[in-house]
Amino acid sequence: MCGIVAYVGSKEAYPIIIEGLKRLEYRGYDSAGVSILNGTMNTFKCKGKVTDLEQVIVKEKIKGTAGMGHTRWATHGVPNNINAHPHLSGDGNLAIVHNGIIENYGTLRTALEKLGHSFVSDTDTEVLIHLIEEIRNTNDLSLEEATRRALQKVVGAYAIVVLDANDPDKIVGAKKSSPLVFGLGDGEYFLASDASPIVKYTDKVIYLEDEEVITIHRNGDYEIRTIENELTDPEVQQIDLNIEELEKGGYEHYMLKEIYQQPQTIAESMRGRLSADEGWAKLGGMEQHLTRFKNAKRIILTACGTSWHAAMIAEYLFEEFARIPTEVEYASEFRYRNPIITPDDVIIALSQSGETADTLAAVKLAKSKGAFIYGIVNNVGSTIPRTTDSGSYIHAGPEIGVASTKAFTSQLTVLTLMAIILGHLKGKISEGYYRQLLSELESVPSLVAKILAKADQIKYIAGEIRNTSNALYLGRGYNFPVALEGALKLKEISYIHAEGYPAAEMKHGPIALIDMYMPVVVIATNKSAHEKIVSNIQEVKARKGIVVAIVTEGDTRIKEMADFTIEIPYIEEPLSPLLSVIPLQLLSYYIAVMRGCNVDQPRNLAKSVTVE
Ligand code: F6R
């Protein structure tokens, strides 16, 4: 993970870099640092957040119009002042920031030590800057040439920026498997992990490809070469991202803003893609490949974390509507076994960030086996959509809170639409049901708004169970993955241990945990198996568990049994996860806030998991 930003231009670099780092902090926040060029390499770094870094800066020393910064999510070496980036070469003239992992750093370090290099940190990154220094000094090369040659020796993932104290008019960057974007402003130039630090200054960017090295000169000349030294001819793209989307907009946390944005973001993910009145639905990315989808013998969905939960719901949807056998795979597992993939399979990769290393690796593996790969991604221009054969953006806008909320519901919206389109295309759902589903899908944004209006009630329940150490989440059918998602949201932001289970599985083990201190959140909106859920709730109550039930409006039966109920509007069961997840997001949010947790930047986590 880690966030990188670099600048060369006519303005003071430091404020631009610090502001950029704050935007990139979602990528990692255990330490931060900057290097500013002004005749010498002025480097400041420390353990902690970007605001901690601001406290250790010596103002007079950070004047300069070229520099770079880094916010870290530790891989090699604990988060401390020494392991924080930038790292320096032995002579102190070169500095590097890095996002990724140099897998062969041990071998490189030993070889460099034999040549007389000594290291101050435990990081793989410091080894890389010494390697660049060694190659440069031995062969009397330019910075970019030495960087290019050094990267040929590297195994692993990297997005890097390298500066030379003796050349304040140049920045060099490179990437492989971790993202790096080049921003072309008016007399000023940027490199960053994503476009968020850049949009304030320019909408013109180039997304670097793997194994490319860019050299940017202060006068605006730039050159991109592969690490094999071939000159490339990259396309300058225009990005459509405005600065307000990156602000909290009056909310206390990004997570709360993103939860509340869902009526709009769900509507955005459907915009121009369906009309229930006119009876049509289409996804641009599917249009050219309808035959392939129609004839698919199997769909394999692959993802991580919350995206994996959305994929699990899609398994139910694709099988129910389109009758296509569907499997769901953790991307990290998929790639490390030898999966059987045939040309008749359709692989769907899901990712909010579009950068998750395991998902990307799964895509590459499937591609190498000749599969057709469809990406469902939020982050426009990220690596996964550039690697897949086709796909759909979910258009949820930037998701900055580390816990995914609006991206989940937008992923679900697109997946539901895909399943409906496929069911209709294959003649597996009637015209009447097709239109009904489209109409219900169109009503989701207003139903979500109705649930959000119950925030105070949800906050009250949060206050009642906030001191628990454990929680159980139960759901059946479509709501089983929602139970997993509810549990994940709670554990990641409040640090309460939480487990999601299929409701009926409770009696095969987890029931042993239930006592008067155990909150059990039951997603009980299903029309099918309602009786069974009622029985599961009775089993919990018989053991004195505290039941928080998410029920359909008017369900008085469960209301009488549960300790707390949250009513949500009725919707066709396959669409119900789009509603039932909303109270769970709010419940986790309020519990975490009441426990004093940093909900936007939970400990040990990062938004974009670009390491395997
Ligand atoms: C949980 C969460 C993570 C991500 C996971 C995959 O709230 O955000 O579990 O869902 O890291 O990330 P993407 O979707 O970016 O591939």
Phi, psi of 296 (to 5 degrees): -60, 130
Non-local CB neighbours of 217 within 8 Å, separated by 6+ positions: 8, 169, 170
- Flag whether pLDDT at 232 surpasses 90: yes
588 lines ligand 1 (CB under 6 A): no
Report the nearest-CA residue for atom 3 of ligand 1.
305
304 lines ligand 1 (CB under 6 A): yes
β-sheet bridge partners, residue 275: 280
Give the integer Cα–Cα distance in Å for 609 and 612: 8
Q: Which residues pair with 157 in a beta bridge?
A: 101
Say what the pLDDT of residue 32 is. 95
pLDDT score of 575: 97
Task: Report, as an integer, the average pLDDT of 32-55.
Answer: 93
Predicted pLDDT of residue 61: 83
Summarised one tens digit per residue, pLDDT across range 334-357 is 988 888 998 899 999 999 999 999
- Peptide bond connecting 86 to the previous residue in cis, omega within 30 degrees of 0: yes
| Helix, strand, or coil (residue 14) | helix
Identify the pLDDT of residue 511.
87
- Nearest to residue 405, comparing CAs of 378, 424, 369, 372? 378
Q: Are 327 and 300 in contact (CB under 8 A)?
A: yes
CA 379/CA 399 separation, integer angstroms:
9
Check if 581 has its Cβ closer than 6 Å to any atom of ligand 1.
no
Dump pLDDT digits (tens) for 263-278: 999 999 999 999 999 9
Q: Where are the domains of the chain?
A: 3-245, 248-447, 454-600
Q: Is the pLDDT of residue 101 over 80?
A: yes
How confident is the model over 310-333, as a mean pLDDT? 97
- The Cα 363–Cα 19 span in angstroms is 33
**What is the whole-number distance in angstroms between the Cα of residue 500 and the centre of ligand 1?**
17
Q: Report how far residue 516's alpha carbon sits from residue 540's, in angstroms, rounded to the nearest whole number.
A: 10
Contact 32, 53 (CB under 8 A): yes
List the structure tokens of 327. 């499997």
Mean pLDDT of the 227-240 span:
92
Q: Tell me how far the alpha carbon of residue 603 lies from the centroid of ligand 1, in angstroms.
A: 15
- Specify the DSSP element, H or E, that contains 439: helix 431-452
User: pLDDT tens across 179-219, in order?
Assistant: 999 999 999 999 999 999 999 999 999 999 999 999 999 99
What is the C-alpha separation between 33 and 290, in angstroms, rounded?
49
CATH of region 3-245: 3.60.20.10
Ligand 1 atom with the shortest distance to the CA of 608: 15
- Does 610 sit in the ligand 1 pocket, CB within 6 Å? no
With a 6 A CB cut-off, is 404 part of the ligand 1 pocket? yes
Identify the pLDDT of residue 80: 86
pTM over 0.95: no
Q: How confident is the model at residue 601 (pLDDT cuts 50, 70, 90)?
A: confident
The pLDDT assigned to 87 comes to 97
Q: Are 393 and 380 in contact (CB under 8 A)?
A: yes
Task: Give the three-state DSSP class for 481.
Answer: helix
pLDDT band, very low/low/confident/very high, at 443 (cuts 50, 70, 90): very high
DSSP 175-215: EEBS--EEEE-SS-EEEESSSTTTTTT-SEEEEPPTTEEEE
Phi/psi of residue 96, each to 5°? Answer: -140, 145
Residue with tokens 């993932």: 157
**C-alpha of residue 466 to centroid of ligand 1, in Å:** 24
Give the Cα separation of 175 and 97 in Å (integer): 12
Residue 381 pLDDT class (50, 70, 90 cuts): confident
Q: Which of 255, 352, 376, 382 to mutate to test the pocket of ligand 1 (most atoms within 8 A of CB)?
A: 352
User: Atom 11 in ligand 1: which residue has the minimum CA distance?
Assistant: 305
CATH of 454-600, one of 1.20.1740.10, 3.40.50.720, 3.90.330.10, 3.40.50.10490: 3.40.50.10490
- Residue 487: the pLDDT is 98
Pocket test for ligand 1, best of 313, 355, 356, 600 (most atoms within 8 A of CB): 356
Question: 352 in ligand 1 pocket by Cβ < 6 Å?
Answer: yes
CA 354 to centroid of ligand 1, rounded, Å: 10
Which residues are annotated as catalytic? 2, 607
What span, in angstroms and rounded, lies between the C-alpha atoms of 19 and 581? 33
Residue 492: CB within 6 Å of ligand 1? yes
**pLDDT recorded at residue 528:** 80
Question: Taking the CB of residue 187, how many other CB atoms lie within 10 A of it?
Answer: 11
CATH fold match for the domains 248-447 and 454-600 = yes
Tokens of 401: 């809170």
Cα 482 to middle of ligand 1, angstroms: 15
Integer CA distances (angstroms), 483 to 239, 341, 412, 413, 496, in order: 36, 30, 15, 18, 15
| pLDDT higher than 90, residue 244 | no
Q: Calculate how far, in angstroms, residue 558's C-alpha sits from the geometric centre of ligand 1.
A: 33
- Phi, psi for 590 (deg, rounded to 5): -65, -40
CA 465 and chain centroid, separation? 29
Q: Which atom of ligand 1 is nearest to the CA of 609?
A: 11
Mutation to probe ligand 1, out of 194, 328, 404 (largest number of atoms < 8 A from CB): 404
Mean local confidence (pLDDT), 155-177 = 95
The overall average pLDDT reported for the chain is 94
CATH of domain 248-447: 3.40.50.10490
Pocket probe for ligand 1: among 194, 353, 399, 400, the residue whose CB has the most ligand atoms within 8 Å is 353
pLDDT score of 158: 94
- The residue whose CA is least distant from atom 4 of ligand 1 is 305
Angle at 264 between CA 435 and CA 605, to 5 degrees: 115
The helix-helix angle for 577-594 and 479-494 (nearest 10°) equals: 20
Q: Whose CA is closest to 363, among 419, 304, 275, 302?
A: 302
| Closest ligand 1 atom number to CA of residue 489 | 7
List Cα–Cα distances, 340 to 300, 311, 327, 362, 592, in angstroms: 11, 19, 12, 13, 42
Q: Is 1 in the pocket of ligand 1 (CB under 6 A)?
A: no
pLDDT band at 78 (very low <50, low <70, confident <90, very high): confident
